[in-house]
Every structure is written in C-alpha cells, then in structure tokens.
Structure 1
Amino acid sequence: MRKLSVAKFGGSLLDQKGKNVPAILERIRELRSRDHYGPIVVFSAPDRYTDELIRIGESKAQSRSASVESIFNSYDRIAKMYVKGKLLKQVLSELRSYRKKAYEALSLIDKRFQGNARAKFLTSGGEFPTSLLMEYIMSANGLNSCHIPKDRWPIVTDDNFENATPLYEASKKRISYIIDLLEKGKVISQAGFLGVTADGLETTLGRGGSDLTAVFISCLLKSQYNVETILFKDVPIQSADPKSVKGQKTYVVQSLTYNEAHKASMMGMKIVQDSAISMARRFKQPLKVVPFQAAEKYTVISSESFTEEIVKIVTGKSGCAILSMRDEKSRSLEDSLRVWERRDDFLDLGTETLETEERIRDFLFLDSEFLRKNEEKIKSFDKNLKIEYGVGVVTLIGDKMKDSPGVASIAIGAIPQINIIRGIFAPHTSQIILVVEEKNVDAAVAAIHIKREEMNKPR
C-alpha cells in the first residue's frame, strides 16, 4: 500500500515572526521525498493567536472595541518574508478576504462569545488564514501545494460547536476530494481545529483540536494509503516535566500505549489532545510524536508498548478540587456532567458512611475553575455539598504497574513530609494517584521521580 504522511505542526512552532518556517519547509520536503505522495500538512494557528482571538471575541461580547488588525498584519509580514512577486500579490489579496471574513464573523458576536459565532470567528482569524499562508509559502518554495476550501471541508461533526465530535461515516463521503488532490501530486495545507456540521456551520474540535484533525484525516485515509501520523511538538515526551524536577535527569519516553497516553494527558502532561488519542485508539492508528528540533527523540503511541518500564511518567496537575455531597443526590449530578455536559475530567473517589449513617460521596475534579464558574448551578443538586479547592494531583503512569507490586509504597515513602489528602491506588488502571495540597505538587513530583530507577527494577 502506498505511503502517506499526515504531519501536524503545532502553533508553538509558528511564531509571529515566522522564524521556524524554513525548518518546517525542510521537514515537508523530507516527507515528500520519502513518500512520493502528499504530505498532508495540518497547521494550528500561530503561537498565542487563538488566545488573542478569544480575548478579542470576549471584548466584542462585552461591547468593547475589538480589532483583528494585529493578527492579520502579522500574517502579511510573514507572507512578505517568504513569498515574492505574483504569488505575494495573490496571497495578500486572499488574506484581505479572510480579514474581511473575520470582521464579518466578529460582527455576529452579541453578548455571548459562544456557539457557531465563536467557531466561525476563531477559525476565520486563525487556522484558515494560516493554512492559506502556508500554502503560498510552500508554492513559493517549489512545492506543488494547495489548501482545502471550506465548501469542500472533509471533517463533518455534530453540532457541539465548541467541542465537536467528528462523524466518521459522514466525513468518509467527502474524502474523495482529498484523494483526488493527492493523486494529482499535491502537498495539502490543511487547517486544523475546524469542523463543519452537515449543513455547513463551522465548529471547533476543542482545545488542541489540530491534533484531532491530523488523527481523524489519517483514519479517513488509512483504507487507501499506509498512513503515518506525525505530530511535531516543541519538546519531547519525557518521564516528568523538567520544570517540576529541576536538577534531575529526565528520560525520553519512547513508547506509550493509547491507555498510558490518555491517562498522562488527562492527569496533567500535555502530550496529545485526549480526543485525538481516543480517535487513534478507536481506529488503531499509531501516532508518532516528534520534537521539532530533535527528531530522534520521538515517541510512538500505539496499542502495545515496546519498552519495559514499569513507571513511564510521573506527572503533576494543579487546579483541582474535591466535591463532597450526599450519595443519593450524586447520581443526578454525575449523569448531568457525563451525558449532558460531556465532561470526563472528574473521578469518583467513593462513598463514606458517617456516624449519622449519612452516605457521602466524593469526586475529584481536575478543573477547579469549572466548579468555581458553575458552583451555584451545581449546588442545585445538593445545597449542602462542600467543595475543597486548592488541591492538586501527582500521578504515576504505566500499564505494567499492575504486575509490579510495591510501586505505591516507594512513591509514598519518597514524600514523608508531604500530606497525602487522598490516594487512588489502582495500578490495574495503569495509574496511581496521590492528592496533595496544590502548593506541594511540584515537590512531590520531584521526590517521586528521583525514585524512578528503583520503581522500574524488575520484580
């Protein structure tokens, strides 16, 4: 089967000055030379542009002045650096068209920066002009490139506009357009983050959704090509965040299962968007996570691990909270969050029977800001519920922990001076979770990570 690469370049690799553009072009040429088809290149909006567009949209919703001039002026500057002559005139003209579309989308925002208006504005100012710009830069540098227009968009989603789910069967019907371009020898510049409903309304694929774009396009094409999904990141996946374990040696994690990657991503390590991992697992599509400046330090995420570490990652996450409420009231809240709000970023800590014979159920929420913003609504389920803010979690990740007793004892023994508020000792789920005070997260990660060699001794 013919080889094809779908390569995603994260927003952190595209800054306002376009300094990484020559290196990005070199990576694309390497893939083109190796595969002979494609590649399909997925681009996020440049570094911090999405945050700035959100700020602009929220300003408009609050009836404050809002302008996208700084965003589009930077696109123009990058174009002038890497595109010349007739192509430059063309790309500047098309960027003016996108600037107009961004202002049109901005005008639709009224009091609430949400729904389709939000999706339309973010993508009109971010990923769409970025993919257009990169198409022209590739063309100006000898690559036979094109970008995908919105009316031929291949990713059809549900109508959850801000965190949409791609629909495989509906999208599969549209993939022939991309196949035709590949067969004509095109390098395809694909905007990340964007989906459309069946009736053509813009949606977004959640924060970090360009990962999902690359994975989903790969899954749509894997019956036609031998597809390699490559996610270029600014740093490698490591055994711990170097900022948390200053002075210690960290280790590149060469292999993760989908389960390990999902747990690590959920518990604080920014590896790959969780929805992208779920999609890859569903279609058994391996992912190759490649640090941009050190390609040899890549990580493969797949069904099975090819390394023997027991504990692969120690990760920490601040900004958590514990919610305690009456057990009989908790089922309604859990169903509401999981089914209607589609949230899976909380864990059931179990129930406790008090001396009064009242049963209390505790949940660990990994996003305390969600609770703060919705506390009044959540208390409608139980007016006497209690929320403990200011906690964080330290998590040990590794599928092989289930066959290796003693890991939890080593981890706990490494932090005798730190109060463990709760512990979830579930190595059969590939994770051991220690709940600590938020201020102690980094110290706990560092103390446990230094025991990595001991925890990974064969048992």
Structure 2
Amino acid sequence: MNESLLVMKYGGTNMQDARAVRHSASLAARSIREGVKVVVVVSAMAGVTNQLLKLADAAQSGDIASANDEIAAMRTRHFTAAQELGAAPDSDTVREIREMHETLRQAVYGVYLLRELTPRSRDLIVAFGERLSAPLMKLALEQDGLRAHHLSGGEAGIVTDTHFGNARPLPGTYERIKDRLSGLLSAGVTPVVAGFMGETEKGAITTLGRGGTDFSATIIGKALSATEVWGWKDVDGVMSADPRVVADARNVDVLSYGEVMELAYFGAKVLHPLAVTPLQDSGIPLRLKNSADPDFAGTLVQAEPRDEAGHPVKAVTAIRNVSIINVSGAGVLGIPEVIASVFDAIARENVTLLMVSQSSSMSNVSLAVQTTDAERTLNALRAGVSLELKVEQQDHVAVLAIVGSGMRGQKGVSARLFTALAAADVNILMISQGSSELNVSVAVEAEHVDEATRAVHAAFNLGKTVTA
C-alpha cells in the first residue's frame, strides 16, 4: 500500500480498563484524523491471560468452582468496561462479550469433565483474552467518531502451523492478511485485530507464545507494507537497564533489529523475541512508544545500528530463575555422537537453551535453561545420553547480558565487563559470546544479579547524562 499506514499494537496496561481503552483509541484516532490509515492490534486486559491460564489449570484439576469464580470476575470486568465506554445493555458489544464468555465457560467445563488440558484446548481458552479486548477497542473508536471492525487473528488472515502454544505463521499468511484487511482500510474502516492468536488451516485457534501480540503486529505490518509498526507501552521505550534496578537507566533512542532481538532473548521485556523477524527483509521500522507521553519519540528499531563513539554497549539486561545443567564425563563428550545425543535429548523436549559453554578438554558441557524447564531437561538427559556421563543441576542462577553492535571488533569490552563484576565481588559461573559480537552473557548467582547489573551499567557509562 502506497499511502502512509501504521500498525499500532497496544499492550495489556493500555487495555486494562475503560479509561485505558479510551485513551488508546484516542491515540489511533489522532493519526487517522491526520490522514494516516491505522490497523489496531490489541492485547488482553492486564492480568487476564494469567487468569485464563489459572482457571484452565483449576478445571483440569477438578476445581470447577474456582474456575467459574475466575470467569465471573472476568465477565464483570469486561461488562463494566463496555458499560463505561457507552455500550447499552442490548448493544452488539454486550451481546458479543456475553456470547464469548459463555463459549469460554463451555470450553472450561469440557476440560473439567475430561480432566484433560491439551495444548490445543489451552490455546482456545487463553486466546479469549485478546478476543474479548477487540470489541472494546472497536467500541471506543466508534465512540470517537470512527468506523471500525474487529477480527480474531485467524479472521484477519494469520494462518499458523499446529505447534499450539508457540505457533508460527505459514507462508500464505501475508497474502491472506492483505486480502482480508486492505478492503476495510480502503473503505475507511479501521481493523481491530485480536493479537497473540491465529488459526490452523483447519480453523483451530493457536497462540504465538507469551508476548505474541507484538508478533501479530509485525506480521500484519509486513503483509500490508506498513510505513512503521508502533508498539504502545507504559514506558518510554527500551531502557538501558531495568529502571527498577538501576536508578539512572535511560531510554535508548535507536536500536537495530539484531540488538533488540538479543535484548528480548536475554530478558528485557521489550517485545516478543521473534517480533522483528517479519520486518527484517522489508526494512519496516518498529517504534516503541509511551502511551502516557505520545509525543516522545521512544525507541526506533531499524535495520542498521547507530553506534555512539566510546559506547560499544547499548544496554544490560538479565534473565532470572535460571538453572545450569552440567554434563560431564572425562573424554566422552569429545566423541561427536555423544555430544549430538546431548542436544538431541534437549531438542525432543523443546527446551530453549539460554547459554551453552564447553570446556576446552571437552569433558564438560554447561547448559543454562529456565528453572521451569530444568527438571525435564535433567530427566531427558539422564534418559537419553551415555551412562558414562554425569548430569547435575545448579539452581538459583541468573544470566546477565550486555548488548550492542559497537562491540564488534572493539577491544577490551569483555575485560571491562569482567573487571566490573570482580569489583562488585560477583562470581561468574558461565561465559558465552556469540560470533555476531552483539552480546556477551555471563551466568551469576541469582542473589547478586541486581548488584551485578548496576556495576556493569556504571562501568559502560550507560546512565543518564548529568549536567552541572
């Protein structure tokens, strides 16, 4: 599409109640009145996704009363928001919300009867959060004098594989989205798409993984050749560190696709780790903005990095609740088929490896995983590798990473990192650096990660500039 087009994604706090939804709608309306076409992609109300997961687990365990209590609380919240946005009791919005809650109740009751929660059923249930947000945003846009139409992810054209819980779009998705949404935009109608979800070729609802609304927005942005994709959040953009840990953390003005992917992977809550992948081949910029300060530029994510002289590192981030799995056996790990069996066992469990480190003697491999994945990783390795190998688990670990394209070819970056950690009396358990030279990551004891973050942030002069 040749005219200016923005895809605007709204997170959970931007959809948490009627006031937030109304404000979010006003941000889209401002651009629309300036002649920009807008596609809106919405998240569930803040906290609703966790509620849905909780009630699904309650139903599976036989506690249907608790599940129904959660559904009733959610229903009240959605009806209250609709009423405060101006919906009459007999309006289409109220009817749609009522029907969706009834469908949700039936799905949860089915889980209760079977005492079985399959990945497919979990996706069906958890996707109701975004599906219930979409009619509220449509209503708010209409109350602002605009024409709008809401769609589920599947109705918008997002077709995925059958990897429930972490689905990926199929190649035909982009053309299908263009076919579904272009007509609405040409007619002056603003599409409101439920994020986080798609559907299989047979129509089963799938989800794209936690934070998947970001992914939905960039998939749509690529399909429509958007001018930019905007992610509205409750912070200024990407920060140089977690501001709850580092008092002088500052906004990072520009990041490359690669840098933001590394930050997302290593724990920065900026966006879904795969969100930039649809934009990379088309060069569409992604802008992360603060809904409370819409005129602030936020963080621009683009194809090329923008390096600052003397500042090879852009940000420091951390993943908490990590465990290290140590696999050892004198000389055995040097045999190719043995090391292959280690990674095959992990792949079968679909476990994400945060870090990998191997000793030069090839007698030890250390793997960092989320603690929630540690037990099944341990069991898979003990069942799937040579009996000559020893497999042990170390808990209470965190992974700290520094990220920045300026590290490429820059001498002394790792030395500065290690010196800062040593000065803070923080012991390093593992070290890893990718060949891209975009990050250096270390594993440390969890109790020291905040202190380590502050020390590294200061060592690389990432804080706000202090003026006299």
Question: TM (normalized to structure 1)?
Answer: 0.90
Query: What is the match of residue 12 of structure 1?
Result: 13
Q: Which amino acid aligns with 1:242?
A: P
The alignment status of 1:430 with 2:432, answered yes or no, reads no
Q: Which amino acid aligns with 1:360?
A: N
Q: Which amino acid aligns with 2:364?
A: I
Q: Which amino acid aligns with 1:276?
A: A
Change (3 A) 1:53 1:424: same
Between stretches 187-196 and 397-406, larger displacement belongs to: 397-406
Q: Distance in 2 between matches of 1:454 and 1:46?
A: 33
Q: Following TM superposition, by how much is the alpha carbon of 1:253 offset from its aligned partner in structure 2, in angstroms?
A: 0.5
The alignment status of 1:348 with 2:356, answered yes or no, reads yes
Within a 5 Å distance, the mapping from 1:376-387 to structure 2 comes to 376-382=379-385, 384-387=390-393
Q: Distance in 2 between matches of 1:180 and 1:406?
A: 55
Query: What is the match of residue 264 of structure 2?
Result: 265
Q: Which amino acid aligns with 2:73?
A: S
Between stretches 71-80 and 115-124, larger displacement belongs to: 115-124
Change (3 A) 1:244 1:454: closer
Q: Distance in 2 between matches of 1:144 and 1:25?
A: 12
Any idea what SS the aligned residue of 2:184 has? helix
Any idea what SS the aligned residue of 1:118 has? helix
Q: Distance in 2 between matches of 1:370 and 1:151?
A: 30
Within a 5 Å distance, the mapping from 1:152-163 to structure 2 comes to 152-163=155-166
Query: What is the match of residue 375 of structure 1?
Result: 378
Q: Which amino acid aligns with 2:288?
A: V
Change (3 A) 1:72 1:324: same
Within a 5 Å distance, the mapping from 1:117-128 to structure 2 comes to 117-124=121-128, 126-128=129-131
CA contact (8 A) 1:233 1:289 kept: yes
Q: Which amino acid aligns with 1:6?
A: V
Gaps of 5+ in 2: none
CA contact (8 A) 1:317 1:441 kept: no
Any idea what SS the aligned residue of 1:453 has? coil
Q: Distance in 1 between matches of 2:264 and 2:180?
A: 33
Within a 5 Å distance, the mapping from 1:438-457 to structure 2 comes to 438-453=446-461
CA contact (8 A) 1:254 1:300 kept: yes
Q: Which amino acid aligns with 2:47?
A: R
Query: What is the match of residue 75 of structure 1?
Result: 78
Q: Which amino acid aligns with 1:104?
A: Q
Query: What is the match of residue 323 of structure 2?
Result: 321
Tell me which of 179, 183, 201 is aligned to 1:176. 179
Q: Distance in 2 between matches of 1:429 and 1:455?
A: 22
TM-align CA RMSD: 2.3
Change (3 A) 1:172 1:404: same
Question: TM (normalized to structure 2)?
Answer: 0.88
The alignment status of 1:26 with 2:26, answered yes or no, reads yes
Instruction: State the percentage of identical aligned residues.
Output: 22
Aligned length: 441
Q: Distance in 1 between matches of 2:412 and 2:152?
A: 55
Q: Distance in 1 between matches of 2:63 and 2:416?
A: 55
Tell me which of 406, 410, 416 is aligned to 1:410. 416
Gaps of 5+ in 1: none
Within a 5 Å distance, the mapping from 1:43-442 to structure 2 comes to 43-65=42-64, 66-67=67-68, 68-85=71-88, 89-109=91-111, 110-124=114-128, 126-148=129-151, 152-222=155-225, 226-235=226-235, 236-246=237-247, 249-295=248-294, 296-308=296-308, 309-326=311-328, 327=333, 328=335, 329-338=338-347, 340-353=348-361, 359-365=363-369, 367-382=370-385, 384-416=390-422, 417-425=425-433, 428-442=436-450
Q: Distance in 2 between matches of 1:21 and 1:13?
A: 6
CA contact (8 A) 2:318 2:401 kept: yes
Q: Following TM superposition, by how much is the alpha carbon of 1:298 offset from its aligned partner in structure 2, in angstroms?
A: 0.9
Any idea what SS the aligned residue of 1:325 has? strand
CA contact (8 A) 1:192 1:209 kept: yes
Q: Following TM superposition, by how much is the alpha carbon of 1:360 offset from its aligned partner in structure 2, in angstroms?
A: 2.3
Q: Which amino acid aligns with 1:144?
A: R
Q: Which amino acid aligns with 1:448?
A: V
CA contact (8 A) 2:240 2:251 kept: yes
Change (3 A) 1:178 1:91: same
CA contact (8 A) 2:13 2:20 kept: no
Q: Distance in 1 between matches of 2:127 and 2:326?
A: 39
